Structure 1
Amino acid sequence: MDTVTERNIGERLRSAARIEPERFPRLKLIGNKWAEAVSAKLAAAHASPLSVEFVASSPFVLSTAALSETDTQMVLTVRSAKWRETALVAADGRFADTITEAGFGGDGRDAPAAGRPLTSVGRFFADAALRTFVETGNAVFADVVALGMSADRLLVEGIGHKLEEAIAPEARAFLEFRFRVSIGRCEAALRVAIPESVLSPHRRKFAALPDEGPSIVDETWTRDLEAGFQKTDMHVRAILCEQQSSLGEISTFHVGQTIALDATMQSLVLLECEGQRLFRGSMGRSRDTYVVKVSEPVDPTEEFIDDILAH
């Protein structure tokens, strides 16, 4: 495959993986639930109630210029044991003052001046609030994807430089959820940026809204139908190796011939049901019987990409 074709395929795959918020209505539902959950958490921890409003979601590409344009004063980096990328929770220069106002029971009568330096008290209240967004985010995404996010480091100096050093260029595409946090005349902006590569495998779920209406299906009929499906016979195959051979080589096959495979006893066996690849597993023996221990599920997206690149 020539380099130009490889670049074209790579760009087409990246384009197909991008999330355009207007095509995925569930993102708005998640954003609104997120704002409600954060409001409830912050109300329990502050003397005065804060208003948290979901504004919109949009693609975001990390750069020092992009951070400067949004008046970013602090960024909380976020990690997960479920993915390698870094998520970000970023707040503008008025966020710490707004959160502190609620923390001390103020009513937000006087709007904070822009560009005020961050105090140790403001940093304390802001850091706790940013972590609240992380904690509640795990819950609101639970029906779609288990994010398993946890707060990492709070950055308040040299933010752009530090993030560009820590995050690889190919991992700087995010989907951000923008929120407005306010009390009285104190108002601040906050953005939660989740790596697009983490969310893109779940595009189908984001495209459909959950059905929350009452069920009109007969539950007895549903159980009987499910029980019937459970008894359906299916054909399962365990495939050790697949490789290409020329027509000439195949025409010389004969009984007793030994055919070398590109596989070893440590190679993973592919489990397939009715043409659908389901799992990979390790081959072993139990007495006189060969067995397969399931090791990992097959990711359809990765399989699709590997098939294209293999040709």
Structure 2
Amino acid sequence: MNEPEFAELAAGHSLGALSAEDERRYRVALAAHPEWSPIADDDADTAALLAEGASPVAPPPVLRDALLARIAVTPQNPDTEGETAAAGEGVVSTGSETVPDVAPDEPPVPDSRRQERARSASAAGGEGASRRPRRLLFALAACLVLIVGLGVGAAVVIPQLLRPAAVVALDRIESEPDAAQKTVALPSGGHATAHWSASIGTAVLVSDGLEPLDGNQTYELWFVRGDAPVSAGVFAAEQGTTTAQLRGSMHAGDAIAVTVEPAGGSPTGKPTSQPIVVIPTS
């Protein structure tokens, strides 16, 4: 067994996801290679940290169904003899259990046996490739166990990770004591509201009714700092409400503007058209 294979088993052990046979292989490998114990310790600490204070809950049915479907089409007959040979180098059998071979006076392996082992290893390349789906399946199962272990924590954290950055920025602005906002009408009949917090230098524009553009044009955001416009990124309007975060740091007194520019943004770094939105923040 090599170190990456041990690391896979250590991850599964820390999650309580190993079969009885893999658990035995894990313990034998750990006894034979004490220098790998930091890998196991790190995985155990990580699993404990992730599950701390979380109540277990059942995984979503769709996740369980996907895992069972994957198991149904994945070969479940690993070559235990081949795996034992890979894991058992430097290990001897005592009849009742397998223990590390620590005999100091083991004779050197003859060249002929080395050559035979090399040929066997080359022939085993296909077997190693056939085990890859099982390793992928193991990783999928470990993810399922982790989600179950996280419980309520996963139900809270995962949706947070999937939220758009502009929405996350808007929530952060609204949580600041100096959060402010201002709304103006759009030429199309909708409205646009700028949200900002000077203390964190972040601004977000929320528009309702901003017309989508064709592929040759885009909307560009600007901080208007005195008489100097500073590009704050481009965005595409969606049907209904569009939320866009201004790139860069907002300065006190900046106005927030929107222009229509060629696809990709202004080629000159300055507005090429009159702004359709200007929102003062002071």
TM-score by length of 1: 0.23
**Relative contact order (alpha carbons < 8 A, sep ≥ 6): 1 or 2 greater?**
1
Bigger Rg, structure 1 or 2: 2
More strand per residue: 1
